[in-house]
């Protein structure tokens, strides 16, 4: 008779209870979510109320509602309001419970206990936007739990289920297409590494590419409905310029944020500096190219926030605000962003190109077309990168023999 190792259940159970206590303390600290509406909640609540009047939304409502992101969080919010009433408490509780659910997925879904679990969980909470999105009715938590479930089932080879969760994620935030797109690129790259230039025929025959292509294409019906990236009236109200030039400065800042919230904490908590110290020697041409790229971006395409009649906050986000408050500005700050971007690229741009590499690259490329710069836009990427640290096979920096 086989017995289950105590560590297989004890570690996850302890972690689950620890964070349950933390969430209970947060609930009390936030006065049981009785505080006044916070920033975007003012219009998010009204949109959820609008959707509560149509449990199955009409095409007219889907075409004209006054938000920039796809409507699944507002549809779910409308159902909650219809059941419990027009109180922001219930919508905040929806996000709060789902936020705890994200942590449970980290705790219980890896195939075996790993000492890196606490590193990942602490890493998530070092990102202040995770806390803020969890205690207020913002749309990010719903999108992120769908993306995370997509990766859970991708790693279990349940590709149809994974595709459905990725489609739900795209129906919550448009730029979630970056994640199934990253998996597509990863599958193609793996096939190329095994089969060389004959990989195309093998790729279409032997890989589950169609499930992830369908998830990427799930954004197309929304674009056709709106004749653009979001409801046209709301895009005009927020001065969202769909034809604007690609913003490399936003890529620079997003790279800096991911370094601050993932690369540096990972290196500090795991003491893995060897990769960065050895990188220039092992990859001299690649390293030289990356240095040139980040310097060109920092000098000629500096990170600057959008400024228009709708949005006039001067900072790029929390990291930028912090650096400004300690007196960094101008070229010095841009060069610091370049150094952080270089550190990030050294972490992920290697000849192997892991799944994490593709997650990073696709998301960075997409954020160059964002409306605004904001730390929060990098949160889903950081979340998935922390999750992938729990899977040795998808993380080249981890030794396969390591617990």
Q: For the segment 320-333, what is each residue's pLDDT rounded down to a tens digit? A: 999 999 999 999 99
Neighbours of 272 (CB within 10 A): 13
pLDDT at 234 (0 to 100): 85
At residue 147's C-alpha, the angle toward residues 141 and 153, to 5°, is 135
**Taking 60 as the threshold, does the pLDDT of residue 136 lie above it?**
yes
The whole-model pTM stands at: 0.92
Query: Phi-psi region for residue 183, left (φ > 0), alpha (ψ -120 to 50) or beta?
Result: alpha
214 contacts 336 by C-beta, under 8 angstroms: no
- Dihedral Cα 123, 124, 125, 127, nearest 10 deg: 90
At residue 265's C-alpha, the angle toward residues 371 and 172, to 5°, is 35
- What confidence tens digit (pLDDT) does each residue in 193-212 have? 777 766 676 666 667 889 99
Average pLDDT over residues 79-85: 96
CA atoms within 13 A on the CB side of 255: 35
54 contacts 71 by C-beta, under 8 angstroms: no
pLDDT at 6 (0 to 100): 53
Whole-angstrom distance, CA of residue 257 vs CA of residue 376: 9
Helix (H) or strand (E) holding 124: helix 116-125
- What is 183-200 written as a DSSP string? HHHHHHHHHHHHHGGGHH
- Spatial neighbors of 351 by CB under 8 A, at least 6 apart, are 283, 286
Percent of the chain with pLDDT over 90: 72
Average pLDDT over residues 46-55: 96
Closest CA to 190 of 345, 31, 393: 393
Residue 319 DSSP label: H
- What confidence tens digit (pLDDT) does each residue in 345-371 have? 999 998 888 999 999 999 999 999 888
Closest CA to 184 of 155, 205, 213: 213
- What confidence tens digit (pLDDT) does each residue in 159-188 have? 999 999 999 999 999 999 999 999 999 998
pLDDT at 116 (0 to 100): 84
Tokens of 278: 């050895």
pLDDT at 2 (0 to 100): 45
Residue 318 DSSP label: H
Q: How confident is the model at residue 308 (pLDDT cuts 50, 70, 90)?
A: confident
CA 21 to chain centre: 26
Site of tokens 């206590």: 21
Percent of the chain with pLDDT over 70: 91
- What is 265-304 written as a DSSP string? HHHHHHT--HHHHHHHHHSHHHHHHHHHHHHHHHHHS---
- What average pLDDT is seen over the chain? 90
């Amino acid at each position: 008779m086989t017995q289950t190792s105590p560590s297989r259940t004890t570690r996850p159970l302890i972690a689950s209870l620890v964070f349950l206590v933390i969430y209970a303390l947060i609930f009390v600290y936030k006065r049981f979510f009785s505080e006044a509406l916070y920033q975007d909640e003012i219009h998010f609540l009204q949109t959820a109320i609008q959707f509560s009047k149509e449990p199955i939304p009409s095409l007219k409502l889907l075409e004209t509602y006054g938000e920039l992101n796809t409507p699944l969080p507002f549809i779910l919010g409308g159902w909650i309001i219809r059941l419990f009433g027009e109180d922001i408490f219930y919508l905040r509780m929806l996000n709060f419970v789902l936020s705890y659910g994200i942590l449970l997925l980290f705790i219980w879904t890896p195939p075996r206990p790993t000492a890196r679990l606490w590193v990942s969980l602490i890493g998530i909470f070092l990102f202040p936007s995770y806390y803020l999105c969890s205690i207020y009715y913002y749309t990010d938590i719903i999108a992120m739990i769908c993306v995370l479930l997509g990766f859970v089932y991708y790693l279990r080879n349940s590709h149809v289920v994974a595709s459905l969760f990725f489609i739900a994620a795209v129906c919550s935030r448009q730029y979630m297409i970056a994640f199934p797109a990253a998996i597509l690129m990863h599958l193609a790259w793996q096939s190329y590494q095994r089969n060389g230039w004959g990989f195309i025929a093998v790729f279409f025959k032997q890989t589950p590419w169609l499930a992830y292509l369908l998830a990427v294409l799930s954004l197309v019906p929304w674009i056709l409905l709106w004749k653009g990236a979001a409801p046209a009236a709301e895009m005009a109200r927020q001065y969202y310029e769909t034809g604007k030039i690609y913003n490399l400065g936003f890529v620079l800042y997003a790279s800096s944020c991911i370094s601050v919230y993932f690369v540096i904490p990972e290196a500090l908590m795991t003491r893995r500096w060897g990769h960065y110290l050895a990188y220039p020697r092992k990859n001299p041409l690649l390293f030289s190219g990356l240095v040139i790229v980040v310097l060109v971006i920092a000098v000629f395409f500096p990170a600057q926030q959008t400024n228009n009649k709708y949005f006039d906050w001067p900072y790029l986000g929390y990291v930028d605000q912090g650096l400004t408050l300690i007196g960094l500005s101008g070229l010095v700050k841009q060069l610091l962003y370049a150094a952080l971007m270089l550190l990030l690229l050294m972490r992920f741009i290697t000849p192997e190109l892991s799944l994490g590499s593709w997650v990073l690259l696709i998301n960075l490329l997409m954020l160059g077309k964002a409306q605004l710069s904001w730390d929060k836009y990098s949160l889903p990427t950081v979340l998935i990168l922390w999750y992938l640290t729990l899977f040795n096979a998808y993380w080249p920096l981890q030794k396969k023999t390591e617990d």
